[in-house]
Amino acid sequence: MRADESIQFAEVEFPAQEPPPDWLTNLLEWLSEVLAPLGRFFVAIWPVLQWVLIIAGIALLVLLIVRMIEPDFLRRKKRSAAKDEDSWAPDEGEALALLEEADRLANEGRYDEATHLLLKRSVGQIAQARPDLVEPSSTARELSAESRLPQGARDAFGIIAARVERSLFALSPLHQDDWQAARAAYADFALQQKALAA
């Protein structure tokens, strides 16, 4: 092996390194002076701090376990809140006033305007009840497919939106049967609470 020149056996001498610049030495000294009291403070309170950290860790662990096994009464409370949200319907007085106004337009043969009024006010009612669902860029088609809306609202809104889209974009005037379908869809949904109470 000693005869193989590709293997080095002699000691390697490294060149002496230059000392760090003065500004870096001064900065490190200044930092040690500034942070030394903080270090001494943590050393002094460590016996108490370690117990605070241990208790905080145990509390976090208990919270995670409770979240994982979630007591039954919390689950019932969440289900009840979700059920209330699913049973949302517009205010009865507001719904009746809207139907009355739209009926006046329909009685004049203005079925497109009456149906469009139902759509616009429905969007307003949804925005009022669930402001997180309606954005300025939201389309009727998107809202009718919005899974966070109750199924009844989605169905009614979809029926109304389909007719308004046909009227506006296909330039196909709506007829009385279109209006009746849109009106019935809105009334069935908006007045469901009244029907259930009767």
- Cβ neighbours for 145, distance < 8 A, ≥ 6 positions apart: 154, 158
Same domain, yes or no: 53 and 91: no
Q: What angle do CA 11, 14, 18 make, to 5 degrees?
A: 160
- Cβ neighbours for 152, distance < 8 A, ≥ 6 positions apart: 89, 188, 189, 192
Region of poorest pLDDT, from 71-75, 111-115, 167-171: 71-75
Query: Residue 179 domain-assigned?
Result: yes
Q: Which of 69, 104, 129 is the last residue of a domain?
A: 69
Same domain, yes or no: 141 and 98: yes
What is this structure's pTM?
A: 0.51
**Residue range of the domain that includes 114:** 87-197
Same domain, yes or no: 65 and 98: no
Query: Residue 6 domain-assigned?
Result: no
* Residues 126-184: tens digit of each pLDDT: 777 777 777 776 777 777 777 777 777 788 888 888 888 888 887 888 888 988 998 99
CB 89 within 8 A of CB 189: yes
CB 111 within 8 A of CB 176: yes
Same domain, yes or no: 64 and 92: no
Same domain, yes or no: 103 and 134: yes
CB 167 within 8 A of CB 113: no
Same domain, yes or no: 95 and 148: yes
Number of domains in the chain: 2
CB 126 within 8 A of CB 91: no
Same domain, yes or no: 167 and 124: yes
Nearest-Å Rg of the Cα atoms of the chain is 36
Same domain, yes or no: 117 and 29: no
